[in-house]
Amino acid sequence: MAGPFKTTEELTANTCTLMTSQGAASGGMAGSEYCALTYYVPEEAAFYLSYLSDVREKLDSRGAKTCSMPQALNDPRHVGALIIAGDHTHPHNLRFSAGDLSGRWNPTRMVDMKTGRVFHRELYLLYLDRGGICRVYSYNYATRIVSALRNAQWVEIGQVYDDSGNIQMFEGKDWLP
């Protein structure tokens, strides 16, 4: 759907606008989540975003929004691609939910066998605020660190400390700059 991009920072900044502009993706409590996959193509040393999904395994409840993360990639042009992240929008909340942060994705690391480059699998959260600013966050499944994309750089803002998805924010850090 989108790419190539040279970095995850470039990819997520661009895909935030793309994904949050979809129907109801920024619709507040009446909105919908969209999911996609980020993948890396070793031959190009580039990142791509898959097509979006608004499929749900369960109905939204008590303000919780959901989408089912695609489980496979269908890109015949890039058969050796490595799926390194799941992307999803939040239509009404800029923070990861406890469910987002309590999940597991094994293996938590992927290796480009040609270069030896190691990727930690991540979950990206994309949110368009009322001022029209795209907010991007990352949850690293291997380190359990939560980061925010600020000024085109990932900034660590907290760490998940238990299997329930509770997060301890780092001193002086928060969801907003």
Provide the b/e sequence for 6-45 (b: ≥16 CB within 10 Å): eebbebbbebbebbbebeebbeeeebbbbbbbbbbbeeee
Q: Are strands 153-160 and 167-169 parallel, antiparallel or unpaired?
A: antiparallel
Element (H, E) at 11: helix 8-20
pLDDT recorded at residue 68 = 75
Which residues, in sequence order, are CB contacts of 69 under 8 Å at separation 6+?
Answer: 35, 37, 53, 86, 88
CATH for 2-169, options being 3.40.140, 3.30.465, 1.10.10, 2.60.40: 3.40.140
The CA angle 49-53-58, to the nearest 5 degrees, is 140
How far is Cα 128 from Cα 57, in angstroms, rounded to an integer?
24
How far is Cα 124 from Cα 19, in angstroms, rounded to an integer?
12
pLDDT tens for the chain, 177 residues: list them: 799 999 999 999 999 999 998 888 787 777 888 899 999 999 999 999 998 886 666 555 555 667 778 888 888 899 889 999 999 999 888 999 888 898 888 889 989 988 999 999 999 999 999 899 999 999 999 999 999 999 999 999 999 999 999 999 999 999 999
Is this structure's pTM higher than 0.75? yes
Sorted by where each begins, the domain ranges of the chain are: 2-169
Give residue for tokens 């606008």. 17
- What SS3 state is found at 118? strand
pLDDT recorded at residue 29 = 79
Q: Are strands 82-89 and 122-128 parallel, antiparallel or unpaired?
A: parallel
pLDDT recorded at residue 145 = 97
pLDDT recorded at residue 136 = 97
List, in sequence order, every beta strand (DSSP E) within 57-108: 82-89
Token pair for 6: 């040279």
Give residue for tokens 């909105």. 31
